[in-house]
Amino acid sequence: MNLTVTIHTLPDCVNCERTEQFLTRSSIPHASTPLSETGPIRDLITEHGYQSAPIVTVTDDTGQLIDHWAGLRPDRILALKSTIR
């Protein structure tokens, strides 16, 4: 199963930059998109009460949401790394 990791970011967000760096160092392919351009992510933010950026989403081949979290979460990235390899 191929997973798609997307970082939904805000401008000048230190935790967004650090999350992207951590994913890169962990050899996890990912895409980055501004939170302002992601309409569907708003439902996820509202439903889970996320109040910090970035919002990271992981989807499968069909686009099904597999995992998600907010903020800088090295523990979640390391868990994701073990799933991908």
Digitized pLDDT (tens) for each residue of the chain, 85 residues in all = 689 999 999 999 999 999 999 999 999 999 999 987 667 788 888 888 888 899 999 999 898 999 999 999 999 999 998 887 5
pLDDT of residue 37: 63
Other C-beta atoms within 10 Å of 8: how many? Answer: 24
Rounded Cα gap, residues 72 and 61, in angstroms: 25
* CB-neighbour burial class of residue 54 (10 A; exposed 0-12, middle 13-18, buried 19+): buried
pTM (2 d.p.): 0.89
